[in-house]
Amino acid sequence: MRATPEQISQTDEVELIIGNSNSNFSGVTSTMLQVMSQQRGMINLKIMGKHFLPDPSLAISFWQTALMCRKPLKSGKWRIFHARRVDEMIQGVILKYIFRAKIKLVFSSAAQRHRSGSTLWLTRRMDGVIAVSNRSATYLADPPAMINPHGVQITDYVPAKDKLHAWKELGFGGKYGIGILGRVRKQKGVHLFVEACIQLLDKHPDFNAVIVGAISGSNKELVNQWKSQIEQAGLSQRIHFTDELPFEKIPPIFSTLSLVCALSDNEGFGLTVLEAMSSGAAVLATQAGAWEDIIRPGIDGYIVPVNDQAAVTEKMDLLLSDPEKLLTMGQTGRLRVEQQYGVEHEAQRLVDYFRSLQ
């Protein structure tokens, strides 16, 4: 039986320090918090940085970390310092090589770009490097110790018991809902989604679309152009922009959708696909992030090349042509997430790897 966080914190020394250097909330922050919520029942931990913590007692400062890690654990083993950002690697290197902290350094790499010379140097100071996808592993100079994909809180993202009724209750019209969620900008492939909907919704009258996400000032002119195109096509009542919504409203929208599109040019990992699949939606995604690792074409949805309007439209047409197949894809996707991509699986794999390093 897994111990509770309270039982662990009362009986064990701190074995894991997690980097938390960014004062701006990001996808990395979200991942760290979700995984940490599971790890608390597996290993005694502290978080170096106070940003966005649900429990302030988890926070530890750089200087407190340096002091605590002057000596190893009572067992003689060294603590683990887990970095997910370059500046956290810098913190770890300073702790270990300047302050002589008795720590093993681990870096999780999500970036899908070739690293600079300084980042490569930092990466080679790590005791272990983890890639979050097969694609991100190809951008590392040396093979990673393991590939550990992110997971999702499957209790937060659940299918609506009756998707058609739940979609109707949202008030966007239509019998079925399709959507794209995230920041509303070209890099996220929103233009591909809009154009595909303009071409296809008259052919598929039971489907309406929703575009969920913040619109920055620099993208307002572009979004206005899309809205103008939608209006000219006579689809203003069928393609809806919600603008930014509070987080608590996002999972309920996911739960109603029959199809979610994720059409980014690039992603570090891209949790949107897992959130959609966990919510029982079929997915149409580009060859970005970890999506090729996750989606089984024709089973959970389809993968298309990046920035390929024809391919997006073709596959969306195929998906909208068979609502029953959409439902089946959503069900198989949910099962896949339950079996392989729950955040608890990600957390356990990390802890097992940390134990192997100590």
pLDDT at residue 113, rounded to an integer: 86
How far apart, in whole angstroms, are the C-alpha atoms of residue 350 and residue 144?
A: 13
Q: Which residues of the chain have pLDDT under 50?
A: 1, 7-10
Distance, CA of 220 to chain centre: 25
pTM of the predicted protein model: 0.84
Written in H, E and C, the secondary structure of 10-41 is HHCCCCEEEECCCCCCCHHHHHHHHHHHHHCC
The total number of residues written for the chain in this structure: 358
Distance, CA of 300 to chain centre: 18
Fold held by 5-151+342-357: Rossmann fold (3.40.50)
The residues spanned by each domain of the chain are: 5-151+342-357, 163-340
- Do 314 and 199 meet the contact criterion of CB atoms below 8 Å apart? no
In sign, the C-alpha dihedral spanning 6, 85, 266, 286 is negative
| Topology alike, domains 5-151+342-357 and 163-340 | yes
In the CATH scheme, what architecture does the domain 163-340 have? 3-Layer(aba) Sandwich (3.40)
- Do 189 and 264 meet the contact criterion of CB atoms below 8 Å apart? yes
Residue 81, classed as helix, strand or coil, is: strand
Tokens 């006579």 appear where? 234
pLDDT at residue 112, rounded to an integer: 86
How far apart, in whole angstroms, are the C-alpha atoms of residue 223 and residue 142?
A: 41
How far apart, in whole angstroms, are the C-alpha atoms of residue 278 and residue 153?
A: 8
